[in-house]
Structure 1
């Protein structure tokens, strides 16, 4: 049941609006990572996971060449975009196996110690426990690692997601809503029935782990017991135990992160299944202001050209944001009719129509929104629904690849959409994370190898932002351009 925001805000989430995100403890975390040269490897199941960090790199290939490239600098954080949330369990298993095998080889060559963070959705969607289990198995077989536990940390403050009393909540207006009462819990592939994380673990493991098998680190442990109490809880873990971490602000996470590094010093090994906020904390990454409009505009583009926004996500939040955009700002919307894309006899004609309209619009200086029809077409099975999503996303990629000019700006809305546009549409192999356009909205700078070189790419998650967040970003760009 939803509960009033005010009472829980005062009781549990005190000081959340005044927290110091560049706390002395965060600086100690950064210093410790540099002293030990311990690398944090984040396997990101869609490209939105970089939404809290800046000035670190993401690679989209896990071939040894690119792993060496990514690990050879002095940064302690490296993202590897796996996009596994859009794949079947079989493909997901294979991808994780390949990455960890190559990672073991390359870090061995470079003499680098590392930890693996499986970054996933802050609304509990994704291949859990599969990805954690596969990573553990390969590390045990190839390196002899004994994983003490895996920390489950879905808290994502930029997206107003908090965990306390072992239950995960989303802020909606002045209500704290358990995440199982939201639309995200009804996901056709990754749905779930409870926001109480020990019970969620039992549900997702199909009873292989009971709720009572789950260790928890409470808000009280963190705020009253501090680093020592959290360290004590971590040292008690064994046999890859699930460890639920409660957190309502970055100060909570910084205490947990410092305790994790101290536990690693004592020889413990952990895996992590987390949302984006934890990476910022354990990576020792400080705060940076939101990017200004000039940092989101392609310097390689003719400024007379229009910008491009690709909308693939079908969440209600996305539809509301899209509706607000076209109501408040002059953009040209071009609909892709999904029923035609899923019909082999109509697909090619529909694709040609959209590509022609898009090129014409960008050249005319129109900021253009390519969007899939809002009616969700559901199949009878999870596997077919995943194939539908892949077909639709592949179509969006073909539309982006059809461009003969560089748009003034590029934004993609939705996890699968933004990943496929990045890896297949823009052909990104390595990108620098510039920062955020708004809370939880990362901006990448494409590399020399990309199809469109040195272009800022705004990655907008499907489940992030208020109704007017897209509008605010585009309005900021319009103001710079004098529109």
Structure 2
């Protein structure tokens, strides 16, 4: 498809968040099933669950927020396990909603670069809730430059656009794909089973209140949050008239759907009150090129300790290696910011299943070491780099069953979680931010922790 540039576009039609807030009165609570923790980057002051017992879901519903997140981490699972987990969460949430006398709708939040189990997860939600009128597909993440225009999903850098299928993300060993036009991507990922796809184009969104077309899947264009808020108003109007939707979305749709505007990062004084004292632990599992560059820039800017887990030794079952790594981390945290990373050479298997198994074993090693460190001497904060890494650190290392998302550390990216117990967790996706983003975030955190 090739690279492109933004041509002359219709002017943005302002749709303030307050207008969406007015339309939310009496609407269902949105349960956001997040296949890794990075869907929380755009929002603040919403609950997030990393486990989904009946008590946990009851607690989340009792907070009275327009939405809450349930971290399913299904992107780290094979298809059968991902389907089983999604089904379990949906059933638990439906039962809790019936007990509480409230109505819920489900959003399947996944990667803005199109990696994840689709249409599997929305199919499972539909099986449990009843066939929807449509699946709303809105993967845009406007803060990070992932936008949809003319039905095509792009990576935006200034005015230049790169079709997402020409990015490194499309070559993912587990979730790779060939199509940038979302209608074609739906057909590709469904094996040709879903071809009834309609597009809501930018012209429709900006000309006036749009009408959602009838189709199995409805694709939403979006360059800015006003576009998504315009679509949300149309969705809410249709739902009031009896339509039922399942949402398959990126982070920006969630912000629009709960009527939160784009917000500045957490202020320094708030950050000082949120983190502990001393130094922080940076846990890196992501292998995308962006993360590797960010690590290089962090090391160039700060005097920090780096401890590495040797992946081949992990795969060989060398437990003594992990004990030594944990001891090194604890020793170095006393005097400096410490990076715990896996070796940077990506090891993959012969097929999707073997690649996932390798990823799970490496993640278990990384989170196991982190858990030992946190139990022995909790750091001022834990920063987890990578979506699956963030999930496993939250659930395994910190056992953060319930938390509040407090906001971002950079505009629209990198979220701070306040677990109900344990150290604060910074969730930093592997595929967002410029080369200096990790260094900028660590600078802010260390300044707050050492104040």
1:342 aligns with 2:325: no
Partners in 1 of 2:33 and 2:360 — Cα distance? Answer: 20
Query: Paired residue for 1:93?
Result: 83
Partners in 2 of 1:424 and 1:297 — Cα distance? Answer: 26
Contact 1:155 1:161 in 2 (8 A): yes
Partners in 2 of 1:148 and 1:311 — Cα distance? Answer: 41
Query: Paired residue for 1:244?
Result: 219
Q: Which of the residues 378, 393, 401 maps onto 1:429?
A: 401
Query: Paired residue for 2:234?
Result: 259
Partners in 2 of 1:297 and 1:356 — Cα distance? Answer: 28
How far does residue 289 in structure 1 lie from its aligned partner after superposition? 1.9
Query: Paired residue for 1:190?
Result: 175
Residues 258-277 of structure 1: pairs in structure 2 closer than 5 A: 258-277=233-252
Partners in 2 of 1:319 and 1:94 — Cα distance? Answer: 34
Q: Which of the residues 12, 22, 32 maps onto 2:9?
A: 12
Residue 322 of structure 1 aligns to a residue whose secondary structure is helix
Residues 411-426 of structure 1: pairs in structure 2 closer than 5 A: 411-426=383-398
Deviations 1:255-276 (A, max 9, x none): 1001100000000000010000
Residue 112 of structure 2 aligns to a residue whose secondary structure is coil
Partners in 1 of 2:379 and 2:393 — Cα distance? Answer: 14
* Unaligned ranges ≥5, structure 1: 141-145
Contact 1:310 1:369 in 2 (8 A): yes
Q: Which of the residues 154, 157, 169 maps onto 2:154?
A: 169
**1:405–1:298 distance in 2 versus 1, CA, 3 Å:** farther
Partners in 2 of 1:110 and 1:184 — Cα distance? Answer: 41
Residue 416 of structure 2 aligns to a residue whose secondary structure is strand
Contact 1:13 1:249 in 2 (8 A): no
Query: Paired residue for 1:477?
Result: 445
How far does residue 456 in structure 1 lie from its aligned partner after superposition? 2.2
Residues 271-310 of structure 1: pairs in structure 2 closer than 5 A: 271-296=246-271, 301=276, 303=277, 305-310=278-283
TM-score (norm 1): 0.89
Partners in 2 of 1:265 and 1:37 — Cα distance? Answer: 8
How far does residue 280 in structure 1 lie from its aligned partner after superposition? 0.3
How far does residue 437 in structure 1 lie from its aligned partner after superposition? 0.6
How far does residue 3 in structure 1 lie from its aligned partner after superposition? 2.9
1:207 aligns with 2:192: yes
**1:220–1:390 distance in 2 versus 1, CA, 3 Å:** same
Residues 101-180 of structure 1: pairs in structure 2 closer than 5 A: 101-140=91-130, 146-172=131-157, 175-180=160-165
Deviations 1:322-381 (A, max 9, x none): 11100111111111111111112xx21210111010010112x21000011111111101
How far does residue 479 in structure 1 lie from its aligned partner after superposition? 3.9
Contact 1:297 1:456 in 2 (8 A): no
Number of equivalences? 448
Partners in 1 of 2:449 and 2:348 — Cα distance? Answer: 41
Partners in 2 of 1:477 and 1:90 — Cα distance? Answer: 39
Partners in 2 of 1:127 and 1:478 — Cα distance? Answer: 37
* Unaligned ranges ≥5, structure 2: none
Query: Paired residue for 1:441?
Result: 414
How far does residue 292 in structure 1 lie from its aligned partner after superposition? 3.4
Query: Paired residue for 1:143?
Result: none
Residue 261 of structure 2 aligns to a residue whose secondary structure is coil
Contact 1:295 1:456 in 2 (8 A): no
Query: Paired residue for 1:383?
Result: 353
Residue 36 of structure 1 aligns to a residue whose secondary structure is coil
Partners in 2 of 1:265 and 1:291 — Cα distance? Answer: 35
**1:473–1:44 distance in 2 versus 1, CA, 3 Å:** same
